[in-house]
Amino acid sequence: MGTSFLLTPSPFPAQALGDPSVTIEQVTPPVLTSGALFPAEERIVQLFEKNTYSVVNIFDVTLRPQLNVTGMVEIPEGNGSGVVWDGQGHIVTNYHGNALSRNPSPGQVVARVNILASEGLQKNFEGKLVGADRAKDLAVLKVEASEDLLKPIKVGQSSSLRVGQQCLAIGNPFGFDHTLTVGVISGLNRDISSQAGVTVGGGIQTDAAINPGNSGGPLLDSKGNLIGINTAIFTRTGTSAGVGFAIPSSTVLKIAPQLIQFSKVVRAGLNVDIAPDLIANQLNVRNGALILQVPRNSLAAKAGLVPTARGFAGNIVLGDIIVAVDNKPVKNKAGLDKVLDDYNVGDRVLLRIHRSSEDLEVPVILEEKS
């Protein structure tokens, strides 16, 4: 037996749905002119219009062989953002995407880069790898674009930032190109767990909305100067939760020029093997960086640093434990790397070490980190 439905009459008569006695003009409210923007709004609009041409859309590509096809086939693998660094076509972005994780050679095409032209059109270019630094989650690409199309970003000082000041993020979240979000600096000197699987120190925290696709794009101050490269968000849903992070411009200024010149970053270090935290804890080293090995003929060996060794009875004899560099405290291996990051090859540093039962000071000249 079929199902039956009881139809109830509508409480509104059919003729009440329209009123032929009125005109379109009578039921159309007046439209007010927008007038001039408030000064604060006008400033934000101008900052966006000025800087949006310095922001590019980056589509990662992977080169894969395919059956019955000669050569390689480009397969898109995700999108992000980047900034125009100079008039020579260098683009600074994050170390993101599967293309970079496969360790491509400098000069290899790893991305498609869309640059916004003055007429509002997106122009597409091959992005060739210049150099990448996984430790700082940064990479530099190069495009063969005309100089009139390249609008280099203006770089500001991240060292003078203060919590509470206004900031702006421009990027391509979820593929929506040239999107603006506004917020404040929420925190400074944060440790960022980047998409590249490394921890980057000195990060800027902001509540400006940063979502997938924003990574590699600029974080600007209220004057429109680059103060950071957006890199990560803290989220449990995959979308912005008001906690975003950017690599400070002071780090970008140190890394990008080296990548452009050398295709790599030349870092200063001691060139000794430092115990990972797990091993250090097992050896009851709770504070400082424990030296495991000191290569022969290294400057560290010439300075007299002592490695960890085994005694005659097979027991472990701890090597030198670095507790400070130029009076800057060192708590562990990561702390030592962070302190040495501010130095250059050839700099002379004074190490405070704990050896056996005494504390010593040892001067050492830094080498290029291998």
- Tell me which of 186, 215, 240, 249 is the catalytic residue: 215
Instruction: For residues 97 and 105, give the distance between their C-alpha atoms in angstroms, rounded to a whole number.
Output: 15
CATH code of the domain covering residue 309: 2.30.42.10
Q: Are residues 131 and 173 in the same domain?
A: no
Instruction: For residues 267 and 307, give the distance between their C-alpha atoms in angstroms, rounded to a whole number.
Output: 22
**Within a domain: 300:** yes
Which region among 4-13, 325-334, 354-363 has the lowest average model confidence (pLDDT)? Answer: 4-13
The single-letter DSSP state of residue 17 is: G
**Within a domain: 249:** yes
- Segment 6-21 shows an average pLDDT of 62
From the number of C-beta atoms within 10 Å of its C-beta (0-12, 13-18, 19+), residue 283 rates as middle
**Within a domain: 15:** no
Q: What is the number of structural domains in the chain?
A: 3
> Quick one: pLDDT band at residue 66, thresholds 50, 70, 90?
very low
Would you state the torsion angle of the CA atoms of residues 159, 165, 170, 175, taken in this order, to the nearest 10 degrees? 110
Q: Which pLDDT score, from 0 to 100, does residue 98 have?
A: 55
In this predicted structure, the answer to whether residue 11 has a pLDDT above a threshold of 80 is: no
- Tell me which of 60, 81, 96, 194 is the catalytic residue: 96
Active site residue 178: no
| Mean pLDDT of the residues in the chain | 86
Instruction: For residues 259 and 325, give the distance between their C-alpha atoms in angstroms, rounded to a whole number.
Output: 27
Active site residue 221: no
Nearest to 152 by CA among 55, 243, 60: 55
Instruction: For residues 194 and 182, give the distance between their C-alpha atoms in angstroms, rounded to a whole number.
Output: 22
Q: Are residues 244 and 276 in the same domain?
A: no
Question: Residues, the chain, total?
Answer: 370
Grouping H, G, I as helix, E, B as strand and the rest as coil, residue 37 is: coil
**Within a domain: 148:** no
For 133-144, write each residue's pLDDT tens digit: 988 989 999 999
Active site residue 96: yes
User: Structural domain of residue 111, as residue ranges?
Assistant: 51-142
For 141-191, write each residue's pLDDT tens digit: 999 999 999 999 999 999 999 999 999 999 988 888 899 999 999 999 998
CATH code of the domain covering residue 109: 2.40.10.10
Beta bridge partners of 184: 166
The proportion of the chain whose per-residue pLDDT surpasses 70, expressed as a percent, equals 85
Q: Are residues 204 and 242 in the same domain?
A: yes
Q: Are residues 165 and 255 in the same domain?
A: yes
Q: Are residues 132 and 180 in the same domain?
A: no
**Within a domain: 174:** yes
**Within a domain: 113:** yes
**Within a domain: 172:** yes
In this predicted structure, the answer to whether residue 118 has a pLDDT above a threshold of 70 is: yes
Q: What is the pTM of this model?
A: 0.79
Q: Are residues 119 and 212 in the same domain?
A: no
Phi and psi at residue 307, to the nearest 5°: -85, 170
- Tell me which of 137, 177, 221, 337 is the catalytic residue: 137
For 227-276, write each residue's pLDDT tens digit: 999 986 665 555 556 788 999 999 999 999 999 999 999 999 999 999 99
In this predicted structure, the answer to whether residue 347 has a pLDDT above a threshold of 70 is: yes
Q: Are residues 257 and 276 in the same domain?
A: no
